A = this chain, B = another copy of it.
């Protein structure tokens, strides 16, 4: 199938699929007209990539996961380690955002939000109310 069809099937933009080829994540065949020809397997791998990306795995993690997926002799421990590390990163990010969110919410809550210039948000950012 052509890139348009596989794009529709996987939900990935054609641009992204071309990019994935460029960086060597996939290697679709080419027709005599120069068009990319995607096999079902290609489409399957792209769907795999789409899911991995949507879970926040980086491109390099996706590359590793794809390689493990293709390797029938893999150890699931290797997959789990990648996923575990990513999970830790996600947890760290969530924690960071929650902390930042709390500060932000405090500031927003303290601000009257009227037409007067007094503003605890600006004071906070200016370091006046630590």
Point out residues on A near B: beta carbons under 8 Å.
44, 47-48, 51-52, 54-56, 65, 68-69, 71-77, 79-81, 83-84, 86-87, 90-91, 93-94, 97-98, 100-101, 103-105, 107-108, 111-119, 121-122, 124-127
Contact = CB atoms under 8 A, between A and B. Distances in A.
Given A80-B108, A104-B55, A116 B75 contact: yes
Contact of A100 (B48, B55, B72): B55
Contact of A94 (B48, B51, B101): B101
Nearest to A74: B117
Contact residues of A: prevailing secondary structure: helix
A17 to B, nearest CB: 17
A35 B1 CA distance: 60
A119 B74 contact: yes
